[in-house]
Amino acid sequence: MTAQLPAEFADFVLSQETLAPYTRLKIGGPAELLAIPRSRDELSAVVGYSRHQNLPLRVLGTGSNILVSDEGVKGIIIRLTGQAFTSVVVESKTVRAGAGAALSALISQAARSALGGLELLIGIPGTVGGAVRCNAGDRSGEIGQFVRRIEVVEGSGDVQVREQDELRFAYRWSNIEEPVLLSAEFELEADRPEAIVKRMRKAWIQRKAAQPLSFQAAVRLFKDPRGHSAAALIEQAGLAGTRVGGAELSERDANAVVADTGATARDVLRLIELMKSRVRERFGVDLELQITVW
Ligand SMILES: Cc1cc2nc3c(=O)[nH]c(=O)nc-3n(C[C@H](O)[C@H](O)[C@H](O)COP(=O)(O)OP(=O)(O)OC[C@H]3O[C@@H](n4cnc5c(N)ncnc54)[C@H](O)[C@@H]3O)c2cc1C
């Protein structure tokens, strides 16, 4: 049972709010508390409160890499959708973006300023915070390689700066453990706008051709095991198009699940178990989840 909420939280903290609409899969039960702070002070206050009350705290970006369970989530979920967290500012070769900004906004702002590098990530859904935390990317590049410094909110509610030399990025992983990533600064290369736009167009076409259709509620489930493509293993195991309840594997990407209206997290979890066991039996490979299950 949550303690009495401080009165000053009434304007930006909701109780028992269903998370499904805020996620890519449109699946999932309620958050015990959903906080949508409007300022850094409100954010710090809610982070400090979670520590004081011993409540788990997580940030939800666009939920492109998350499956929320049907039962919902204990503790506090934070969304950084307010203006205080979504600005993108260019200064010489540096772009500073709030963690709640769309990754696409960061990429297009950089391209408009004739700064190259991030355009290769076009078409990856999500926020800047989610992308940096998960080191989003693919074989063409990863966002971590451009990060120069970040701002985080620690468990106490204090804001701290982490410099490049303290940050580590690996395949779909970073060492950012603080509860909230607040903003990130990227160092990019000046380039000709036409060259950037050409690379961006190519990356967009390649990525969109391999993704579920954009109107579909879908997420990619597994990391690529070393030396393999998860989608290829799943396809070779004969699972493409498999359906459990309202959850179905995408015809365009066998590693992506598409949720129809009425699909539940339980359907997706059963599909995940089926995929893991079939791929293990067939190829002796243990698939590791890319999505986080809440
Ligand atoms: C169709 C499709 C294609 C995709 N293609 C790719 C791809 O090519 N490459 C790739 O790397 N990924 C890909 N993804 C996965 C997803 O787009 C990325 O992981 C993306 O970065 C997630 O961003 P998000 O804002 O939705 O984060 P969420 O899914 O909301 O969150 C992901 C994780 O980051 C944490 N988080 C988010 N924001 C913050 C913050 N501000 N502070 C602290 N923690 C935070 C969350 O708590 C969670 O643990 C794809 C997903 C889909 C649906």
The span from the CA of 197 to the CA of 179, in Å, is: 35
The span from the CA of 139 to the CA of 120, in Å, is: 10
Token pair belonging to 232: 């290829």
Q: Which atom of ligand 1 is nearest to the CA of 99?
A: 41
| Residue 18 phi, psi (nearest 5) | -65, 135
Token pair belonging to 259: 């949720």
- Compute the distance from residue 126 Cα to the ligand 1 centre, in Å: 5
DSSP string of 246-263?
A: TEEE-SS-TTEEEEPTT-
- pLDDT on residue 47: 97
Whether ligand 1 lies within 6 angstroms of the CB of 149 is answered as: no
Nearest CA to ligand 1 atom 49: 292
Whether ligand 1 lies within 6 angstroms of the CB of 60 is answered as: yes
The span from the CA of 193 to the CA of 110, in Å, is: 10
Q: Which atom of ligand 1 is nearest to the CA of 80?
A: 41
What Cα–Cα distance (Å) separates residue 290 from each residue in 12, 153, 272, 287? 31, 24, 11, 9
The fraction of the chain above a pLDDT of 90, given in percent, is 91
Whether ligand 1 lies within 6 angstroms of the CB of 95 is answered as: no
**pLDDT band at residue 5 under the 50/70/90 scheme:** confident
Whether ligand 1 lies within 6 angstroms of the CB of 250 is answered as: no
- pLDDT on residue 172: 93
Q: Has residue 213 got a pLDDT over 90? A: no
Tell the residue number behind the tokens 């080191």, with chain if given: 135
Report the helix count and the strand count for the chain, using DSSP H and E. Answer: 6, 21
Token pair belonging to 143: 């966002």
| Mean pLDDT (the chain, rounded) | 95
Q: Mean pLDDT, to the nearest integer, of 122-128?
A: 96
- Compute the distance from residue 47 Cα to the ligand 1 centre, in Å: 21
Whether ligand 1 lies within 6 angstroms of the CB of 126 is answered as: yes
Nearest CA to ligand 1 atom 9: 137
Q: Mean pLDDT, to the nearest integer, of 80-106?
A: 97
Nearest CA to ligand 1 atom 35: 130
Q: What is the pTM of this model?
A: 0.94
Q: Could you tell which of 66, 78, 133 is best to mutate to test the pocket of ligand 1, judged by most ligand atoms within 8 Å of the CB? A: 133
Q: Has residue 247 got a pLDDT over 90? A: yes
**pLDDT band at residue 252 under the 50/70/90 scheme:** confident
What Cα–Cα distance (Å) separates residue 65 from each residue in 83, 85, 124, 187? 23, 20, 11, 25
Whether ligand 1 lies within 6 angstroms of the CB of 79 is answered as: no
**pLDDT band at residue 216 under the 50/70/90 scheme:** confident
Token pair belonging to 33: 């508390």
- Compute the distance from residue 7 Cα to the ligand 1 centre, in Å: 33
Give the CA diameter of the chain: 57
Q: Mean pLDDT, to the nearest integer, of 71-96?
A: 97
State the helix-helix crossing angle for 103-112 and 193-210, rounded to 10 degrees: 150
Q: Has residue 193 got a pLDDT over 90? A: yes
- Compute the distance from residue 118 Cα to the ligand 1 centre, in Å: 16
Whether ligand 1 lies within 6 angstroms of the CB of 130 is answered as: yes
The span from the CA of 112 to the CA of 239, in Å, is: 42
The radius of gyration of the chain's CA atoms, rounded to the nearest angstrom, is 20
Whether ligand 1 lies within 6 angstroms of the CB of 23 is answered as: no
- Compute the distance from residue 291 Cα to the ligand 1 centre, in Å: 8
Whether ligand 1 lies within 6 angstroms of the CB of 28 is answered as: no
Residues 179-193 as b or e (16 or more Cβ within 10 Å = b): bbbbbbbbbbeeeee
DSSP 124: -
- pLDDT on residue 3: 59
